[in-house]
Chain A
Amino acid sequence: MSKDRLEIEYPDDAMIESQIQMIISQGIKPKESFYSYLKKMYRQIGLRHIFHDATEIAFTFFIAISILLFITIGAVRESGVADESIYSFIFITSPMIYLTMALVSFVNTKFNGTYELEMTFKFNIYQLAAFRMLIFSIISILVNTMMIYLVAIINRQMDFLMALMISTTSLFIFSIIFLYGMMKRNTAIKKHLIIGGWILSNLFLTIYSKEFYNTLLIHVPIYVYLLVITGCIYVYIKNLKKLMFSTDLGGI
């Protein structure tokens, strides 16, 4: 070992401090908020590309709405004036619009085999999905509200506000379950079970103890619904955020 080492002056405290600050500020980017990230996606990608399969979605959307309208009108006609089963009907069908729109995009990607490529982009499938699902929920709420309004005109016995609460609660509970099924690295079968399970368990409840189910839906006070909805929206957004910012969902 040579004795005459190079002399390096030891940096003073201020210097060390400023260097550390620089390393930290470059190493850790400030975490973006959900809203600002959505805005960034909107600005950088644009709606045209975020909803690049808008035609397919619109097509499926109208088919779904037609079917739903058809069933709804049938159901309203059939149920007598005092029949309260309209509420459980609303509870079951409210997430359907959301479900069809969300499924179209997944089927589309899967069918075209673009999943692998699109996962490696700066804005990957999960981030896009988070954005899209949020928009889908908003569209769903609007469509559901309109449908319920329509039904309320035909069936004057139905409480519009109550129906709206039931519908929105149902939509968000389902959205959370759907998101959960998507985010956990579940197998396809499990995912189908989650969706099919929703319809089946609701149907089971209606058929098996219609009375109880309807009474339950009606007798929950509005403020409880509001509480549940708020809670659900909170969890939903939190999960969307997770979906958007997760870094380890990509792998298997």
Chain B
Amino acid sequence: MLTIHNLSKNFGSFTALKDINLEFTNGVYGLLAPNGAGKTTLMKIITTLLYPSGGEVLYEGQDIFKRGEDYRELLGYLPQEFGYYKNYSPMQYLLYIAALKGLEGKVAKERAIELLKLVGLENVMNKKMKKFSGGMIQRVGIAQAMLNNPKILILDEPTAGLDPKERVRFRNLLTDLSREKIVILSTHIVSDVESIANEIIMIKDKEILYKDSMRNICNLIEGMVYETEVAFDEVSSFKQQYQSLSEKQEQGKMKIRFISKDDIPASTWKPVSPSLEDVFLNIYNDEILEGDNQ
């Protein structure tokens, strides 16, 4: 079990995270928050790259920084910006990383081939990576994180740059490989976590806002989401009154999905069940508005 206790992180006088308390048991956790919320910062602390300004991170009751090598041995990490040696082939690179992760040569080779197959790179495993596309590099990154069959797998925006087909492949891969592990992945793409994560963690104002299942988080605005059609000339006044979630032109009218906390909905409103994206937009709405005003 991984426990985060009263954690805070400052960069100089800037506070990036404060009062973070979290507990992770085996399962997939999706860190869902907008840009700059502190996802990467939190993950870098869990991977011992950043030292917390306050509080502690414990794995099985022991401080991860004190455990050092013993802890890193259990770790798999995909950084948001994944660095690699351009003249290496994926195979060479994975073997190098496997060695640094303490894997034995023969095991390493088998594991590398297996993973390269799983991420669909078996045909290019001996080609130099400098010719690779962004999505291919990302898949090498995903493979390297899983080399040592980590107990704690930290993936910082793993699906960035992947096409829809690869995203599906990644989800299946993760479902297969995530048994008996703590998997923490960050994203601001709502549809990614929707299908992968057992629990969703949202950060707002440098603190943890929610850590709950998707169902429970969606229930927060159950009964408040509607869809309706509005004539074009009424759209702007409608949007001033209600928070719009999405808009779509349809047959000369505007179809709007929105949130209303009114007790008595209008008869033309069609109640719909809220999606995670609705919650996301609702929660971070003020922030987006503030951002616009600046």
Residues of A within 8 A of B (CB): 29, 44-46, 49, 52, 112-124, 127-128, 245, 247-248, 250-252
**At the interface, is chain A mostly helix, strand, loop or mixed?**
loop
User: Could you count the A-B residue pairs with CB atoms below 8 Å apart for me: how many are there?
Assistant: 84
- Counting CB contacts under 8 A, is B66 at the interface? yes
- The answer to whether residues A112 and B86 also contact, given A117-B79, A120-B47, A251-B49 and a CB cut-off of 8 A, is yes
Cα distance A112–B44 in the bound complex, in angstroms: 19
Q: Tell whether, in the assembled complex, residue B100 and residue A128 are in contact, meaning their CB atoms are under 8 Å apart.
A: yes
Q: Tell whether, in the assembled complex, residue A247 and residue B68 are in contact, meaning their CB atoms are under 8 Å apart.
A: yes
Nearest chain B CB to A196's CB is how many angstroms away?
27
Q: Tell whether, in the assembled complex, residue B84 and residue A121 are in contact, meaning their CB atoms are under 8 Å apart.
A: no
**At the interface, is chain B mostly helix, strand, loop or mixed?**
loop
Question: Looking at the complex, which one of A52, A118, A122 makes contact with B73 (CB distance below 8 Å)?
Answer: A122
Question: Looking at the complex, which one of B65, B83, B102 makes contact with A122 (CB distance below 8 Å)?
Answer: B102
Q: Tell whether, in the assembled complex, residue B73 and residue A247 are in contact, meaning their CB atoms are under 8 Å apart.
A: no
| Residue of B66, B79, B82 ringed by the most chain A CB atoms within 10 A | B79
List A contacts of B86 (CB < 8 A).
112
25 contacting pairs across A/B (C-beta < 8 A): A29-B70, A44-B102, A49-B96, A49-B99, A49-B100, A112-B84, A114-B85, A116-B79, A117-B77, A118-B100, A119-B49, A120-B49, A120-B75, A120-B77, A121-B72, A121-B100, A121-B101, A123-B102, A124-B72, A127-B69, A247-B68, A248-B65, A250-B48, A251-B49, A252-B51
List A contacts of B77 (CB < 8 A).
117, 120
Q: Tell whether, in the assembled complex, residue B100 and residue A112 are in contact, meaning their CB atoms are under 8 Å apart.
A: no
Residue of A nearest to B83 (CB): A113
Question: Looking at the complex, which one of A113, A123, A245 makes contact with B100 (CB distance below 8 Å)?
Answer: A123
Q: Tell whether, in the assembled complex, residue B65 and residue A45 are in contact, meaning their CB atoms are under 8 Å apart.
A: no
Cα distance A46–B99 in the bound complex, in angstroms: 8
Nearest chain A CB to B142's CB is how many angstroms away?
12
List B contacts of A29 (CB < 8 A).
70
Cα distance A113–B157 in the bound complex, in angstroms: 17
List B contacts of A117 (CB < 8 A).
77, 79, 82-83, 97, 144
Within B98-149, the residues touching A (CB, 8 Å) are 99-102, 104-105, 144, 148
Nearest chain A CB to B58's CB is how many angstroms away?
14
Contact with A along B20-56 (1 / 0, CB 8 A): 0000000000000000000000001001111110000
Nearest chain B CB to A177's CB is how many angstroms away?
25
- The answer to whether residues A45 and B100 also contact, given A124-B72, A250-B65 and a CB cut-off of 8 A, is yes
Question: Looking at the complex, which one of A49, A116, A127, A128 makes contact with B49 (CB distance below 8 Å)?
Answer: A116
Contact with A along B257-294 (1 / 0, CB 8 A): 00000000000000000000000000000000000000
List B contacts of A52 (CB < 8 A).
85, 96
List B contacts of A250 (CB < 8 A).
48-49, 51, 65
Other A-B pairs, 16, CB within 8 Å; known A49-B96, A113-B83:
A114-B84, A118-B100, A120-B47, A121-B97, A122-B72, A122-B102, A122-B148, A123-B101, A124-B72, A127-B69, A128-B100, A245-B68, A247-B67, A250-B48, A250-B51, A252-B50
Cα distance A52–B86 in the bound complex, in angstroms: 13
- The answer to whether residues A247 and B51 also contact, given A49-B100, A113-B81 and a CB cut-off of 8 A, is no
Cα distance A49–B105 in the bound complex, in angstroms: 11
Nearest chain B CB to A49's CB is how many angstroms away?
4
Cα distance A194–B84 in the bound complex, in angstroms: 29
Residue of A nearest to B78 (CB): A117
- The answer to whether residues A44 and B49 also contact, given A112-B86, A113-B83, A122-B72 and a CB cut-off of 8 A, is no
Q: Tell whether, in the assembled complex, residue A122 and residue B69 are in contact, meaning their CB atoms are under 8 Å apart.
A: yes
Nearest chain A CB to B164's CB is how many angstroms away?
27
Q: Tell whether, in the assembled complex, residue A247 and residue B66 are in contact, meaning their CB atoms are under 8 Å apart.
A: yes
Q: Tell whether, in the assembled complex, residue B72 and residue A112 are in contact, meaning their CB atoms are under 8 Å apart.
A: no
Cα distance A127–B68 in the bound complex, in angstroms: 12
Residue of A nearest to B100 (CB): A121
Q: Tell whether, in the assembled complex, residue A120 and residue B72 are in contact, meaning their CB atoms are under 8 Å apart.
A: yes
List A contacts of B79 (CB < 8 A).
116-117
